[in-house]
Structure 1
């Protein structure tokens, strides 16, 4: 009796820990981690809507950095044509990846922005090299050109992302130990495994429903000051939701397999 009660309590702890830890672990791997963030946003380089907004944003940055009192329209046209050529150039995806690395560092490592930002410095450099021969003066080359993705500062959200790796490690340890304890203490371990799988499937299903609301609330409804910022914000919200759902689908499959193995083996024994 005591073993069954202890197993049941550990099952509750395990399912709760899994439910809480899964989104934190996803954030740790795909947002807090620089390489994960770069891979998450890499497909944006081929998005047409972002390309149009990025071209306009780069043109604004080039005009601002040059400070020329005349010929701004001609400069914007040069930038637009150069950007159109560079989108299909092998250098562009790499420049975009470098932009995302710089954006990640500016957002999560420097600690000054306190909100999500997009650093288009590497893109501006690439376009500047392309149009350098068409200009009578050399373009300045700022190290960073930061575009805020959200208008409001979000220091708590940024700090939560920074803390995600350590919290995911702690939550993962609790989930693993509680899961093992729940199965090992059970009088019928196959049944306990089946119920563990049921709990995992339930956790994945609940999180799938929550993801469709939580991510848009966190990003897509935040005010943006430019077309580039708004486009990047919307792409991030859509991409994060889709990627997290893929992550949860794997979780549901694992839980489903555990259910089949656990309950199935019990049925076979009968």
Structure 2
């Protein structure tokens, strides 16, 4: 009976861990605002992405208040502002604020969302902070008063994907409960086992198997996400860069799990030989 309970608890612990670890990663790095900003912040350092994002942001600046005789000068100034924006002292702060606003829009509760113009897509970039930065630069150069909009949205994904963000926000935090359940299951398996080295071996090989499955799932999921065209060049670039950053970050979790699995398996083997040595000595 003890062996049966130990086996069931070990399998349950592995199954719970299989869901808990990805869920916790998603909650910490996608659902939570600070984690999302930390993960996506390096995207603003990519020169090609910077250039296209700055051009898209500056291109939305309303110059209708400029006198007609200056119209020929405005376009070159807009282009110059787009090229120089990423070098401005205020760019890092504007990029971080863009990410924070975008996260709040994308993970807002539809029932409570009171922000005008909020998108229903899975991820919406609000580049208004960058537009404001570009407007201020143009105003300093031309002395023209420009009134930047409070929101400048670039949609990433499709409206149907909004359901996925709602599911992530709802279910990802449950990963912590599943993780606790997994730990409790392994402890029960260890206590109930007649041969505790079997639990260590099973947990170790289970960890290695999970690392392999997560690695395959990461590749398949990234490929599927990249195959979806957003219809916007900037949005496509952000998606690709974010997926690459997310994949690299989750890969460290996969590697850690594989290392932990290998350590547990090694501990199981050592415990096995130690128990056999004690058995021979006691004879």
TM-score (ref. length: structure 2): 0.86
Counterpart-to-counterpart distance in 2, 1:130 and 1:206: 50
Q: Which stretch has the larger CA shift, 25-34 or 87-96?
A: 87-96
Say which of 243, 249, 266 aligns to 1:237.
243
Aligned to 2:222: 215
Aligned to 1:124: 131
Q: 1:74 to 1:205 in 2, by over 3 A?
A: farther
Aligned to 2:63: 66
Counterpart-to-counterpart distance in 1, 2:232 and 2:245: 20
Q: CA deviation at 1:213?
A: 0.8
Give the CA RMSD over aligned residues.
2.0
Say which of 126, 146, 166 aligns to 2:153.
146
Give the gaps of 5 or more residues in structure 2: 111-117, 278-283
Q: Which stretch has the larger CA shift, 85-94 or 170-179?
A: 85-94
Q: CA deviation at 1:39?
A: 0.3
Secondary structure of the residue that 1:23 maps to in structure 2? Answer: helix
How do 1:21-100 and structure 2 match up within 5 A? 21-62=20-61, 65-67=62-64, 74-100=73-99
Secondary structure of the residue that 2:228 maps to in structure 1? Answer: coil
Q: Is the 8 A contact 1:13 1:175 kept in 2?
A: yes
* C-alpha distance after superposition, 1:149-203 (max 9, x if no partner): 1244312211122114432122212212112112221112233122212111111
Aligned to 1:258: 264
Counterpart-to-counterpart distance in 2, 1:258 and 1:75: 66
Aligned to 2:233: 227
Counterpart-to-counterpart distance in 2, 1:35 and 1:89: 24
Aligned to 1:185: 192
Q: 1:76 to 1:52 in 2, by over 3 A?
A: farther
Q: Is the 8 A contact 1:55 1:79 kept in 2?
A: no
Counterpart-to-counterpart distance in 2, 1:21 and 1:261: 24
Q: How many residues are treated as equivalent by the alignment?
A: 266
Q: CA deviation at 1:221?
A: 2.1
Counterpart-to-counterpart distance in 2, 1:113 and 1:179: 44
Q: 1:180 to 1:132 in 2, by over 3 A?
A: same
Counterpart-to-counterpart distance in 1, 2:223 and 2:103: 20
Q: CA deviation at 1:76?
A: 4.1
Q: CA deviation at 1:265?
A: 2.5
Q: CA deviation at 1:11?
A: 1.2
Say which of 153, 170, 180 aligns to 1:173.
180
Secondary structure of the residue that 2:87 maps to in structure 1? Answer: coil
Counterpart-to-counterpart distance in 2, 1:21 and 1:215: 20
Larger radius of gyration: 2
Q: 1:187 to 1:75 in 2, by over 3 A?
A: farther
